[in-house]
Structure 1
Amino acid sequence: MSFSTRLKERREYLNMSRAELASKIGVTQAAIGNYENGISSPKEEILYRIFDALAVEPNYLWQDEMKKSSLPFTVSYPEQSLIKKYRALDTHGKDIVDTVLEKEYERIQQDEDLVGISLVARSGKNEIIKVTRKELEEINKILDEYEADPDEEADKL
């Protein structure tokens, strides 16, 4: 993410309109739009006002640019907030959060391996079933090899 994207992300996270931010830092709403669209960059004095108005560290707004040179990954503001809360927990609290996080991660990984298939019976009943991607590949192979019964094709006409 670029500075412009991070600026917009943080403003929206705070549920702040462009007009509100513009009013807080003493520029026009159009200027905020230009900053967020990467058309122009704020002057140094305006940057300091942006940091204050959005309650961010300067590094937050340039995190991706820094990543290219030295940081191994970027962390969004909501993630930074969660990290601060996590660091304030005692050992018991961290164990609980770690357990929940691991369980949720496992659940999501399993869900990503499942796909929904819509089945339609001759009666017209429609149902969606979940199968693994491997099972879907096997079903598709069977269907590719399937040759329709000529009598059934004639019945459809």
Structure 2
Amino acid sequence: MSLGSRLKEARLKLGFSQEYVAGRVNLHRTTIGKYENDASMPSLDVLIKLIEIYCEDANYILYGKTRKIINISDVPEYAIEKIYFLIAKSKQCD
């Protein structure tokens, strides 16, 4: 699946029209269509706005990598804090 296909999928999932999205990013509707048909590439600024509007994972939109969502509502707070600590520590090693 291409970048344009993923953008279109994200838009349709929310029930947004191309015209609505174009208004949110100050572009013409046909420009959104060109992005979705891979006839044109959005600028980085526009791409960031689209990802935010669609509430999508940037890795999915950019690379097509599926994201994993884990429900942590039953995980104790102390365990979540330890997880965040380990993540922060691993980023220091990169």
Asked if Structure 1 and Structure 2 have the same fold, meaning a TM-score greater than 0.5 normalized by the shorter chain, the answer is: yes
Aligned partner of 1:22 in structure 2 is 22
Measure, in 2, the Cα distance between the counterparts of 1:41 and 1:30. 13
* TM-score, L = length of structure 1: 0.43
In the alignment, structure 1 segments of 5+ residues that lack a partner are 65-73, 92-157
Query: What stretches of structure 1 move > 3 A for 4+ residues in a row?
Result: none
Measure, in 2, the Cα distance between the counterparts of 1:52 and 1:5. 17
Q: Which has the higher strand share?
A: 1
Q: Work out whether 1:41 is the aligned partner of 2:25.
A: no
RMSD over equivalenced CA pairs, Å: 1.9
Measure, in 1, the Cα distance between the counterparts of 2:73 and 2:52. 27
Give the aligned length. Answer: 75
Find the residue that maps to 1:87 and give its secondary structure. coil
Find the residue that maps to 2:71 and give its secondary structure. helix
- Report 1 or 2 for greater relative contact order, CA contacts < 8 Å, sequence distance ≥ 6: 2
What fraction of aligned residue pairs are identical, expressed as a percent? 28
Report deviation, 1:52. Answer: 1.7
Aligned partner of 2:81 in structure 1 is none
Find the residue that maps to 2:27 and give its secondary structure. coil
Aligned partner of 1:6 in structure 2 is 6
Measure, in 2, the Cα distance between the counterparts of 1:7 and 1:29. 14
Bigger Rg, which one: 1
Aligned partner of 1:52 in structure 2 is 52
Measure, in 2, the Cα distance between the counterparts of 1:90 and 1:42. 40
Report deviation, 1:45. Answer: 1.7
Find the residue that maps to 1:38 and give its secondary structure. coil
Work out whether residues 25 and 53 of structure 1, in 8 Å CA contact, stay in contact via their aligned partners in 2. no
* TM-score, L = length of structure 2: 0.68
Report deviation, 1:62. Answer: 1.7
